[in-house]
Structure 1
Amino acid sequence: MTTSGLCRRHQTETEQASKDNRAQFRELLNQSGGIVTPEMKALRAEYLEQQETATELAGQITEKEELLPLLADTTARKANAYVNCHHGITEERIDELLRDFFIFYGSELSCLLWMKYKQFERNSSVHIPGIIEGINDADTLYREFILNLMLKWTNEIMPLRFRDDVMSLTGSAPIRLT
């Protein structure tokens, strides 16, 4: 049950107890012929306090309900900030891992891929009959080669064994390319 619901229930119970005590006070007053006894004074003090408590609870409930739209807006802004922070951490870590990879292997990889591209240019020059741009030209063949090369290595030759503690903490993990 929500806090507001608990407050409402407590308010209703307090109001009912106050009504019951007031009715009991009147009954005792009738029985005593209008003479107020110490027991009746205590009962009256109790029901007056219960009425005051119920009134205070009603005010608190109204106050809380007025804050609900602000709470929803604040929650949405904080959730958005969290998501943006999470994406930022993840992106920063991925960039860092890619930088590390290219520091160790970047120049060799770039040279080999450049050689492969040059070979595609020789074999699929626009001057050779049957070459259609966007189908079997050097750029298209090169993009397909890189994609297929990555898929083949990550899925068949050396399946993914990568693990990074920072990425694990953010709940992100590398996925298999399929």
Structure 2
Amino acid sequence: MTDTTADSSKSLPAATQAALEKVNITKAAWLEARRKQESAEAQAGIIRQRRSETEASANAQNDEWRRLFRENGGVMTPEMKKLRAEVALERESLEEFDALLAAHESENEFLPWKTADRAHAYINAHDRLAEHRAMHIWQDFMRTHGQQLIKTLSLLKITLGRSAGSGSGVVHSVNDPETVLKDFISRNITQPALSGGALPEDDVVFKLAGIFADDAAHSDFRKGPSPAARLKLLSRRETAKKENAQ
């Protein structure tokens, strides 16, 4: 955001500034929830990687112990005793890794839920801002140019309608002045607007907030658990709590 854009935003109507502030607050909350979720997922990945490495080491050392056991005819050498102790320790560590992963999952299973909710709040705030600003831009335009626009269209109704009916005569709903004007408006205003090819990206509000909410927010919202999944999660939590209390 440039200093010029920041200064321009201060001159916005109070309602617009409030809507813009809500977008900023909800976006920051979503990004923080997203950061926590990504951090938790990264930590879980590290734990799984360490567990995998420990399991691979335990298997390799166990294979080595078996090889020595066969070679030595069952005699337990100091090296084999050391290997056996290391295998036992690493297998015990695997159980601890499993417990750690289970605890980590339990502590963080609500994070995608929270991220989706924060994303939804941000998207809604942005939608309200865009709706508010679009109407404000329209009202400003009509205050400045509305009368001239209406007068020009009224004149075009006369001139275009007269020209359309000058040859074969006027046919209602085909080339009467009202139909001709509607076609003109559709061709020159409505159709270009519906194509969405031109948007007010240079408007001070949309320079600050963007015309659309962040795509990643929509993605996070779609990834959030469904109402049924949320209910199932809460029910499972409640059941576990009751079992632990017994």
- TM-score using structure 1 length: 0.52
Q: Is the Cα contact below 8 Å between 2:170 and 2:176 reproduced in 1?
A: yes
- Which range moved further: 80-89 or 135-144? 80-89
User: Within 2, Cα distance between the matches of 1:30 and 1:63?
Assistant: 39
Match of 2:144 in 1: 104
Q: Report the Cα offset of residue 57 of structure 1.
A: 2.4
Q: CA deviation at 1:98?
A: 0.9
Distance change (3 Å), C-alpha of 1:93 and 1:54:
same
**CA 1:121–1:145 in structure 2 vs 1: closer, same or farther (change >3 Å)?**
closer
Q: Following TM superposition, by how much is the alpha carbon of 1:106 offset from its aligned partner in structure 2, in angstroms?
A: 2.0
Q: Within 1, Cα distance between the matches of 2:77 and 2:173?
A: 103
2:91 to 51, 58, 75: 51
Q: Percent identity?
A: 25
CA distance in 2 between counterparts of 1:31 and 1:120 reads 109
Match of 1:156 in 2: none
Q: CA deviation at 1:23?
A: 4.2
Question: 1:31 maps to which residue?
Answer: 77
Structure 1 residues 165 and 52: alpha-carbon distance in aligned structure 2, compared to 1, 3 A threshold: farther
Larger radius of gyration: 1
When the two structures are aligned, how many residues end up with a matched partner? Answer: 148
Rounded Cα–Cα distance in structure 2 between residues aligned with 1:53 and 1:30? 24
Q: CA separation of 1:106/1:15 partners in 2, compared to 1, >3 Å: closer, same or farther?
A: same
Answer yes or no: is the 8 Å Cα contact 1:121–1:138 preserved in 2: yes
Distance 1:139 1:65 in 2: 66
Question: How many angstroms apart in 1 are the aligned matches of 2:128 and 2:200?
Answer: 24
Q: Structure 2 vs 1, CA of residues 130 and 69 (structure 1 numbering), >3 Å: closer, same or farther? A: farther
Q: CA RMSD in A?
A: 4.8
In structure 2, distance between residues paired with 1:109 and 1:164: 22
Q: Does 1:86 align with 2:132?
A: no
Q: Over residues 13-35 of structure 1, what are the superposed CA-to-partner deviations in whole Å (9 max), with x where a residue is unaligned?
A: 213434538949x98x9235xxx
Contact 1:18 1:51 in 2 (8 A): yes
- What's 2:180 paired with? 141
Preserved contact between residue 7 and residue 61 of structure 1 (Cα < 8 Å): yes
Structure showing greater relative contact order (alpha-carbon pairs closer than 8 Å, 6 or more residues apart): 2
| 94-103 vs 108-117, which moves further | 108-117
Which structure 2 residue ranges, 5 or more long, are not aligned? 1-40, 70-74, 191-198, 213-246
- Say which SS state the counterpart of residue 30 (structure 1) adopts: coil
* CA-to-aligned-CA distance 1:103-149 (integer Å, 9 cap, x gap): 222233334434544x369849xxxx832233212222112233455
Provide the TM-score with structure 2 as the length reference: 0.41
Is the contact between residue 90 and residue 170 of structure 1 (CA under 8 Å) also seen in structure 2?
Answer: no
Cα shift at 1:97: 0.9
Amino acid at match of 2:143: I
1:15 paired residue number: 55
In 2 relative to 1, CA 47–147 (structure 1 residues): closer, same or farther, beyond 3 Å? same
Please list, as runs of the form range in 1=range in 2, the aligned pairs for 1:127-166 lying within 5 A after superposition. Answer: 130-147=169-186, 150=189, 163-166=202-205
Contact 1:120 1:141 (8 Å CA) reproduced: no
